[in-house]
A and B are shown apart, each in its own frame.
Chain A
Amino acid sequence: MAGEATARLRSSRGNDAGQAAIGARRATEAASPREPAARCIAERTPRPPVALYVHVPFCVSICPYCDFVVHAGRAARGPGARIEPFLAALHAELDLRADALAAPPARSPLRSVYLGGGTPSLLAPRDVAAILDHVDRRFGIAAGAEVTLEANPGPDERGDLAGFAAGGVTRISLGAQTMDAAELRRLGRRHSPQDVLVAIGVARRGGLASVSVDLLYDVPGQTRASWRGTLRAILDAGVDHVSAYALTLDDPDAEGITGPAGDHLPTRPGARAWRDRARAEQDDDRAADLYADADGLLAEAGLRWYELSNWARPGHESRHNLAYWRHEPYQAAGPGAHAFDGVATRRWNAARLDRYVAALTATPPALPPGGVERLDHETLEAEEAILGLRLREGIEAAVAARPAVAEALRWGSAHGLVEDAGDGRVALTLRGRLLSNELFERMLP
């Protein structure tokens, strides 16, 4: 699977623009072999990151359901935009993060770079290219690496998709959400279903080798018919990858993650009111039906589920997201971004853009405020099983045999949530995917 992806992505680098931008990159084998999951966690040693997440915290407008770190309106466009200072700070952070690592020849370069947001497509192509060049200089980007950029489909949001491809982006992730005009309005989106089709076409013509769309289900007012319509429209447009997320109306304030050092921004009163109303219109039964519909229709069209919320044509699985699920080390930059050292430490930047910029543009630049957590052995073992089970490949026998995991799996098996996936591996059934939290909570220490 990973091999296929590598081959396909590498061949897609044939276009001139991409070649020019990455010309300086060393042709290293992209996918280093995965560390065997069952290897005792205690014996792990810190490894250099295989992936890098860059958070670009700007949108034209903010959707009421979104709790990512985002600034909109005047912060994102026009003379008062805060994009320039952010970019300066980001470059400084990339340097500081890279300073802690050995230089590229002494270690494997990144297999994935992911520009998420926010709406990274609001950046100018030269800014994206500059970020990627900087990343390549300091971290190294492997030949054939997956370089994803998130874009919104609207004409005023999607930016210059061909320009991004020329700057080194290989994969686009479009925030389509739904192909139903009324649902889009209800979600506070700026684009129309037609914009999504246009954006997909532009991305293809611009040379982006892999096109993904994000969809939302369990949206207020959504029906099975409208959802199936959305899926068909997306499939007819020809995409390689679909992420279908349940509309999840969290309350980050209640979770205690929006304080001054928190990795989320406080929820705006308008968004809170919207969520309260929308929550009342959500329905788990409908959500389960919609999920099953998606799984069926996507599979028929050749997009196989490979993670709870993700389906892809073979070879188009997001290697970036797989790194998360496989407990691989990833670095992160930008406000609210999260990193993992591949052993036991998770770290994140605080959400506040002003403090982020202030720290990194000081002389000398300092790392921005943030948080860190060191996981104990039991938590790591549980996490590894929980993350692994999100994937179609499931977990291997040695992980499944850990006592806390094994006990939960016995319960899950009795309720039809898990099944044998061959070679002693255990994976979720369709019912298990929908009820996975019930299983996962039993694995936590």
Chain B
Amino acid sequence: MIPQDHLRNFCIIAHVDHGKSTLADRFLELTHTIDARQMTSQVLDSMDLEREHGITIKARAVRLHYTADDGETYALNLIDTPGHVDFTYEVSRSLQACEGAILVIDAAQGIEAQTLANVYLALEHDLVVIPVINKIDLPSAQPEVVIEELENVLAIPHEEVLLASAKEGTGVPEVLEAVVQRIPAPKGDPDAPVRGLIFDSHYDAYKGVVAYVRLAEGTLHAHDSVRLMASGAESELLELGVFRPQLVPVETLSAGEVGYVATGLKSVRDCQVGDTLTSAEHPAPQPLPGYKSAQPLVFAGIYPINGPDYPLLRDALEKLHLNDASITFEPESSVALGFGFRCGFLGLLHMEIVQERLEREFDLELIASAPSVEYLVTLTNGRGQVRVDNPAELPSPGDVEEIAEPWVRVKIVTPNTYIGTLMELTKLRRGTFESMEYLDQQRVLMQFELPLAEVIVDFYDQLKSRTQGYASMDYEEIGYRPERLVKLEILVNGEPVDALSMIVHREDAQAQGRQLAERLKKLIPRQMFEVPIQAAIGSTVVARETIGAMRKNVLAKCYGGDITRKRKLLEKQREGKQRMKRVGQVEIPQEAFLAILRTDEQP
């Protein structure tokens, strides 16, 4: 067993793409945790999706055995954290299991919005921050500029900053040495009653819920009976172990250590992240302070393209929820899309990733309705408030006293040449400018307040395209504000298409209605008859387009005796139609439901 003063618990925080996972890979190699033969790039990003997107979605933990310059061997618990704003919640959970954090900054990119957010989080948790400027091998690296930024913006003294190239391995041993030297060992009495914070979990078909635990006090033994203090669930441990990074059983875990416990519990609800694990025989009197549970910010309906897949979708969501407790879902039905689920996500990227995981891991074909935020609707005559996360369910105007929507503070780090275009973009999105400060001679940090609804639709893409990819952003909630909001409905051939409803600001309603109707006209193929598309607020039509009746669809080509090809083309046409959704008499392709996600704003 490793003495407590030879333990170090730390995580790596970084903006997307600044080299966090590559640095983690070097740590694994340097400490011989994984031999070179098994080394795949970005070992800790084990999901295909993570490697493809180049992002970390789930926090991972690994224990490294490191022999320091003082000749002593230390056990370093590294917790890899996600780098995207949607997963800030995961980061903050991971931070709570650590005493220190390595802050990785790209030597060419400098401080980004996410860097700031992560540093503030780390400081909130009283962590020791080790700043590492990475990618110094790049020709465009400007470590001196980044050092100056760190000093100006985050008050990090330049002598604390380490320089490294995780790709080439330079400077990496110095980083590990700094982990040992600068980050304090965990505290906590190994003889006290057991208290362990559950900072993550996954579900295993054989071991039940496997909880990732940071032991604050006490010592756990392999066959102890444990209790979850919040849920009250008890279980006899199936296994106790550490991450190498695969699960390796150990006999004991004691105060300060990070490891896992296989609980055998079948429901994640019994073993929620943030709960405190204690001994069933000698329970601790008080749980550890837990976490706020993650609040979904973005909501969308998810529907199977093939109606009969509905039970499969339900099973898939339940399974996914076992590993990602931040997803919420409840059944809903839509006239246009049939039976599906209203799902809550941490953000748009999270939504995209969940949808992709459902499609890939469960082989489902899905269609998602337009994302929405959760509105707070005050009803007339003092009948209280309701929360509405589906525009189709907004009470009728007569019942609505007021609609409030969530606002966020958006931080954008950008080269100063793009200030104008970003002011314009945020203004178009009903935002207000708050402040601006220079990080260095070229780059500024801008702060805006914006309705969240305006941020989740296409804002990030617009930001990237208007700044040639140079700007980065981060946002945090700042509460609800009442606004003049109305429901914009789309009627196709006279029938309202619930999945195309959206809640918009009254002043933008007509313009948005017109835009959407135009876009739908292009996306909905001609039918056997003329199809009007209308955008309406209540009974007032604010925009109208007409799709003319189809006049020609004929295989009038000389295919010779090649009847097979003719038939295949017909089959393909029919398959295309089967993937469409039927509203009344009209077949609407899936792209039409995504039309709402795009805007026509040109940078």
Chain A residues within CB distance 8 Å of chain B: 53, 68, 116, 214, 243-246, 248, 250, 255, 257, 263, 284-285, 287-288, 291, 308-309, 324, 330, 332, 337-340, 346, 348, 373, 379, 383, 386-387, 415, 433-438, 440-442, 444
Contact = CB atoms under 8 A, between A and B. Distances in A.
A185 to B, nearest CB: 21
B556 interface: yes
A415 to B, nearest CB: 5
Contacts of A244: 556
Contacts of A288: 551-552
Given A436-B553, A441-B570, A339 B561 contact: yes
Contact of B562 (A284, A285, A348): A348
19 contacts: A68-B560, A245-B557, A245-B558, A255-B568, A257-B565, A285-B548, A287-B552, A288-B551, A288-B552, A309-B557, A324-B563, A339-B561, A340-B563, A348-B564, A435-B550, A435-B551, A437-B570, A444-B567, A444-B570
Nearest to A417: B528
Nearest to B576: A441
A248 B556 contact: yes
A373 B564 contact: yes
A285 B550 CA distance: 8
Given A255-B568, A338-B564, A444-B567, A437 B553 contact: yes
B contact patch SS: loop
Contacts of B557: 245-246, 248, 250, 309
B571 interface: yes
A367 B213 CA distance: 70
Given A243-B558, A441-B577, A346 B563 contact: yes
Nearest 8 interchain pairs by C-beta: A288-B551, A248-B557, A246-B556, A441-B574, A338-B561, A437-B553, A288-B552, A284-B552
B498 to A, nearest CB: 27
Interface of B: 526, 528, 548, 550-558, 560-565, 567-574, 577
A437 to B, nearest CB: 4
A308 B563 contact: no
Nearest to A436: B554
A154 to B, nearest CB: 19
Contacts of A348: 562, 564
B576 to A, nearest CB: 10
A308 B553 contact: no
Nearest to A372: B564
B575 to A, nearest CB: 9
A287 B555 CA distance: 12
B567 A379 contact: yes
A438 B527 CA distance: 10
B560 to A, nearest CB: 6
Contact of A435 (B554, B563, B571, B573): B554
Contacts of A433: 554
A284 B560 contact: no
Given A324-B561, A348-B564, A437-B555, 13 more contacts: A246-B554, A255-B565, A255-B569, A291-B556, A324-B560, A337-B560, A386-B567, A434-B552, A434-B554, A435-B552, A442-B574, A444-B570, A444-B571
Contacts of B552: 246, 284-285, 287-288, 291, 434-435
B3 to A, nearest CB: 65
Given A332-B561, A434-B551, A436-B554, A383 B528 contact: no
B562 to A, nearest CB: 5
Nearest to A256: B568
A338 B562 contact: yes
Counting chain A CB atoms within 10 Å of each CB, the highest count among B554, B563, B564, B573 belongs to B554
A18 B570 CA distance: 42
B564 A308 contact: no
Nearest to B567: A383
Contact of A337 (B561, B567, B577): B561
A435 B564 contact: no
Given A287-B552, A291-B552, A116 B560 contact: yes
Contacts of B563: 324, 338, 340, 346, 383, 387
Given A255-B568, A415-B528, A435-B528, A444 B574 contact: yes
Counting chain B CB atoms within 10 Å of each CB, the highest count among A255, A330, A437, A442 belongs to A437
B54 to A, nearest CB: 30
Contacts of A291: 552, 556
A247 to B, nearest CB: 8
B599 to A, nearest CB: 24
Nearest to A387: B563
A227 B567 CA distance: 29
Contacts of A257: 565
Nearest to B555: A437
A245 B561 contact: no
A22 to B, nearest CB: 24
Contact of A340 (B550, B561, B573, B577): B561
Nearest to B572: A255
A324 B565 CA distance: 13
B550 A438 contact: yes
A210 B567 CA distance: 30
Contacts of A436: 553-555
Nearest to B558: A245
A330 B553 CA distance: 28
Counting chain A CB atoms within 10 Å of each CB, the highest count among B552, B568, B570 belongs to B552
A435 B570 CA distance: 12
Nearest to B561: A338
Contacts of B570: 386, 437, 440-441, 444
A444 B556 CA distance: 19
Nearest to B528: A415
B573 to A, nearest CB: 5
